[in-house]
Amino acid sequence: MKIFIAFPFTAVIDKENGVVNKKTKSFLNKFRNMLIEQNFDVFLAHYREKWGLNLMLPDICTPLDLKEMKEADLVIAFPDVSGGVHIELGWASILNKPIILMLDDKLDYSPLVLGLNKITDTSIIYFDNYLDINIQNVLIRINSML
């Protein structure tokens, strides 16, 4: 099973060194590795682009990301305020991919995000701080969607 992780990218790049900030990189590495340990194939653009060291131009990353989305069996999305993640959610919904929405309980989300369950199989996990997400709870949700 292939999982596509949709997570803000440019918003989490440290302006001083041009790479994903340390806390976010640590979380994403832990999250990605936990899924890999469960024998999932995982796509994460941040990993592919070496956390910002090898950022791809839009005309290169966009078709590549769409290809990865088409090959994915499940999307785990952190929409936050990321326009890119919202685009990926559009792709996922039109491709009828199951989605796990990871939503910050302190943020307000568009009705179109909250209404994705009317388009495709969608599950929502609310969290207080993504750095503190219980990954085991995500694995339970993944298994319930299989």
Q: Is the pLDDT score of 61 beyond 80?
A: yes
The packing angle between helices 83-94 and 58-71, to 10°, is: 40
Condensed to tens digits (0 to 9), the pLDDT of residues 8-59 reads 999 999 999 999 999 999 999 999 999 999 999 999 999 999 999 999 999 9
Residues 6+ apart with CB under 8 A from 46: 7, 9, 20, 25, 28, 52
Task: Report the predicted TM-score, pTM, of the whole model to 2 decimal places.
Answer: 0.94
User: What is the structure's pLDDT at 48?
Assistant: 97
Phi, psi (degrees; rounded to nearest 5) at 99:
-130, 135
